[in-house]
Every structure is written in C-alpha cells, then in structure tokens.
Amino acid sequence: MPGPTIVIVPGLWLGPKPYELLVEEMKKAVPSLTEFVYAPLVSTGTSSPGNPSMYDDAMGIREVIKPLVESGKRLVVIGHSAGAFLSAMATEDLEVGEKLATPSGGGVERFVFIAGGILPVGATHPETTFVETKGGEAYCRNPDELLFHDVDPAVAKKYEAFFKCQPAEGWAGNCTYTGWDKVPSTYILAENDKVLPPQVQEICAGIAKSDVIRIPTGHVPMLSEPKMLAKQVVTCLELDV
C-alpha cells in the first residue's frame, strides 16, 4: 500500500535544499514513501519593504497543499521551525473529513512539527532574539553557533550556501487558524536547540496537544542527524521501518 504524500514546509532562511538528506533517509527507511513535495516560504529571499508577509507565506503553503488534497492525496505535513505554525495556518477545511477534503477523499491527516514554533489562534508572532537585520533583510545571528553547532563542518558549509535572507518586516501578524485542532500531530523536540530552547518547545508542543518525541540535536537535525530524524518521523507515522 502506498504511503502518504509528505509535504515539507521549511523554516526561515532555509528553502527546500537542506531537507534533501531527510528525504533520502525516509525513502531508505520506508520504500513505500515515494511522494515528497516542498512548500517553501514565499518570503524567503525577499527584503523589505513591499515583501510578502507571514500571511502570504501561509497562503503560499496552502496553494501547494490544496491541489494535492483535491486530487485525493492523503497528506502528512512536516513543518520545521517557523514552518510549523505557518503550515498549521494554511490548511483550513483541507484536513481529512473537512469541507474541502471530503469530496476527493484526500486531506491532511497529520502534522509533524520539528523544533517548531506554535501559536494559538489570535496570538501575535513574538519578537525573536536570534535574528539580526541588515537594511531590509533579516538573517540568523551567528548561525555557526545557533544553527550549525552540532553539524559536521563540511555539511554546514555545503548547505549554508543555499540559505537566503528573510524580509525584516511582515512578521508582526496574528495566527488565524490552527490545523492541529483537526488532526493528530507529533512534535519532535530538539533537546540541544540554541534557537528555540527546549523549554519553549515543550510549551509549543503543549499548545498543539502533540505527542512528543525527543532527539538529542540542535535546531537543524535534518543536517546534523538526518537518519535519526527520519527514523523518528517514520515512527510517529506508524509506518513499518
């Protein structure tokens, strides 16, 4: 029986490329997983003013997910970092059994959050201490220490080249929807994270009422421990390894 379609929503700065090691390991672990789709943030690589906002990011994710649901696909949405709350904002009526999913029999059936920021409806995106701005562009402050501290230097050098800026503006909005209210979710908590501290991740997992899996990694386990991460993702999907 074919596995679900996996939709990967990257975090800030990253784009799809850094997730290729995770995809490779998931395919090795479960050969029936053959369909992987990326829903990158449309704001990544843009600068302020006049840039896409967090609402545009959520709409861009939705524009990837909706046609898949309409074609009858069953989806697991993996949201990393900021991609967690943005992906959950994007799925209104697209979850399994909901209004837009029912006619096709498809739909989002689960979320997996990796070191994810989670917001309840109405909450404002908080200010962050790990971001620095240069003109209209925003970057991770000291990425070697905050993002790559547990990543092999050669791997970090390769994938850092694919990182792009985020806009300095457009993040002070409110969360408008939470798909995790409709379907199950699992939160993969990165215990050595220097971007989103474990204590904050625990709060986020509690907000979403997610099952929690803990891994001893930093904020980008798809680069530091892709095999470990893949195993845990597969485990929470209850697929045979």
Per-residue CA distances from 175 to 49, 51, 66, 101 (Å): 21, 19, 19, 22
Percent of the chain exceeding pLDDT 90 equals 91
* 188, 113 contact by CB (below 8 A): yes
Task: List the structure tokens of 179.
Answer: 């798909």
The pTM (predicted TM-score) of the whole model is 0.96
DSSP label of 124? B
What pLDDT, on a 0 to 100 scale, did the predictor assign at position 239? 62
Task: List the structure tokens of 108.
Answer: 């989002």
pLDDT category at 172 given cuts 50, 70, 90 is confident
Domains defined for the chain, CATH in brackets: 5-236 (3.40.50.1820)
pLDDT category at 212 given cuts 50, 70, 90 is very high
Mean of pLDDT values over 226-230: 97
Question: Left if phi > 0, otherwise alpha if psi is -120 to 50, otherwise beta: which for 239?
Answer: beta
Summarised one tens digit per residue, pLDDT across range 99-149 is 999 999 999 999 999 999 999 999 888 778 889 999 999 999 999 999 999
Summarised one tens digit per residue, pLDDT across range 27-54 is 999 998 999 999 999 999 999 999 999 9
Rg (CA), the chain: 17
Helix axes 226-236, 20-29, angle to 10 degrees: 60
Q: Which of 186, 181, 152 is nearest to 79 (CA)?
A: 186
Q: Is the pLDDT of residue 241 over 60?
A: no
pLDDT category at 190 given cuts 50, 70, 90 is very high
> Do the bridges between strand 137-140 and strand 166-167 make them parallel or antiparallel, or are there none, so unpaired?
antiparallel
What pLDDT, on a 0 to 100 scale, did the predictor assign at position 127? 77
